Homo-oligomer: A and B are copies of this chain.
Amino acid sequence: MRPQKALDKEVINGLTEVFCSKGYEGASLQDLAAASGLKKASLYHRFPDGKKEMADAVFLHLHDFIQQNVFDVLQDDNLKPEVRLQIALDNIAVLYDGGKRTCILRALSMEAGIDLFGKQIQDGMKQWIERFERIGVELNLSTEVANDYALQTLIDIQGSLVLTRGIGNTNIFDRTLKNISKRYLE
């Protein structure tokens, strides 16, 4: 290897940053190479199926993070539901970098992305709803109300991310996370 070669973590994090901020079509191979610390052709060595495989890897990488730091936390039997919810929300704040990073589900739901990732996006969103439904039930909400709350939670997260990016102020995202917490715990 020439200078100091790309750690896998640097590669995946670079790809993630580009896909999240520019979407699928907006992310050029040049961008992806620059952000990952590899040359274009080297990326093709690691991801022989090209751009789509890179985006898949990012999707999977984020899904793993969410699985561990949100979904699993939400059903960790060692903790009280109220605590689980709070930790999960804190981790969501990390996931979206306090509102500065866009959700990959949204980033890929524009333009060409919806054709390539439609099913994965749909499944991903359904999982979010499902997990928040469960924590709602565990917090003694009726299944109906738990469903309402779960949907609203997703809407709040996605909507506040849109507003935060559009207006350029992370206060909206912060406040929204607190509101979600309040809705469940008060």
Chain A contacts to B: CB under 8 angstroms: 21-23, 25-27, 102, 105-107, 109-112, 114, 118, 121-122, 124-126, 151, 154-160, 162-163, 165-168, 172, 175-176
Contacts and interface: CB of A to CB of B under 8 A. Distances in A.
14 contacts: A22-B25, A23-B26, A25-B25, A26-B111, A105-B162, A105-B166, A107-B110, A109-B162, A110-B110, A124-B166, A125-B167, A151-B175, A155-B162, A158-B162
Nearest to A160: B155
A168 B151 CA distance: 14
A131 to B, nearest CB: 15
Contact of A111 (B22, B109, B122, B168): B22
Main secondary structure of the interface of A (DSSP, over half): helix
A168 B105 CA distance: 13
Given A122-B168, A158-B158, A176-B155, A26 B163 contact: no
A180 to B, nearest CB: 11
Which of A102, A122, A155, A168 neighbours the largest number of chain B CB atoms within 10 Å of its CB? Answer: A155
B23 A167 contact: no
A128 B162 CA distance: 14
Contact of A162 (B26, B118, B162, B175): B162
A160 B105 CA distance: 13
A166 B157 CA distance: 14
